[in-house]
Amino acid sequence: MAKRKAPCAAPPAPETDIEATPEMGVTPEAAPITEMIRSHNLKFPLDRAVLRPRIRQSLRANGYERKETDAVLRVVKPTDTVIELGAGIGYMSTLMAMRCGATVHAFEGNPGLIPYIRSVHAANGATRATVHHALIAEETGEVDFYVRKNILASSMTPLEKEPHLSVAKVETRAAREVFEAIRPTVLVCDIEGAEAHVIPMLPLEGLRAAVVELHPQWIKQAGVKAVFDAFAAAGLTYFPQASEAKVVTFLRGW
């Protein structure tokens, strides 16, 4: 079977050096210097509180979120509007905005990550990417968000094996209202185990594609089944050519 042509360009060769870059819009002579890590031709400010050693190494080797990267580069198009649940360090939203040319609305509940995500968008000139400090839920309100020592493992789900340091109150926005306002064509979701109850309550009918990182170690077989059943009910089918291990892709009409 011939391989499906990726809408986005193939990833460039790894660029492993850290560069010192003047802040945008300031002359080099007067600019404060910000260290950057380059990955997939994107820039990431070197904030060690966010970018732990393993993440820095993975970014430099173009290996950060490799499976999810391969999936979105294959399915996301310049005409897409993407809703991303779980923005993380802003890597995926920047990649989709800059490499795929898509319009991206990234939702992140972790208050400690919002300034960093905005700095990544700014460093790359990712004007098509917008970060929202909110979580998607059935109704508007607020919810507990569990902040962990590993900031990227923080989530809205309490986990016995991943104890949290604190609990933050985070705004929730009603899923149907958000989807009606944004009208996304693609969903990208990596929410550390919350996918089992979040995805089934989303209005998925307007999507043409979705990329989801599953966390079966937490959601178990019943949670994985709930995710697959929700997409099947909305008319999206598992697409193996852009899926690998826990990263699964769903397409409409392939």
CATH number for the domain including 103?
Answer: 3.40.50.150
Return the higher-pLDDT residue of 192 and 214: 214
| pLDDT higher than 50, residue 69 | yes
Is 13 among the domain residues?
A: no
Is 3 among the domain residues?
A: no
Is 6 among the domain residues?
A: no
Residue 177: pLDDT band (50, 70, 90) is very high
* Mean pLDDT, range 71-78, rounded to an integer: 98
* Mean pLDDT, range 168-174, rounded to an integer: 94
Is 233 among the domain residues?
A: yes
Is 200 among the domain residues?
A: yes
Considering its fold, how many domains does the chain have in total?
A: 1
Structure tokens of 94? 């920047």
pLDDT value of position 1 = 47
Residue 229, SS3 per DSSP? helix
Domain range for 110 is: 18-251
Is 11 among the domain residues?
A: no
- Enumerate residues 6+ apart whose C-beta is below 8 A from 175: 136, 137, 138, 201, 202, 203
Is 10 among the domain residues?
A: no
pLDDT value of position 147 = 84
Is 2 among the domain residues?
A: no
State pLDDT tens for residues 201-254.
Answer: 999 999 999 999 999 999 999 999 999 999 999 999 999 999 999 999 999 998
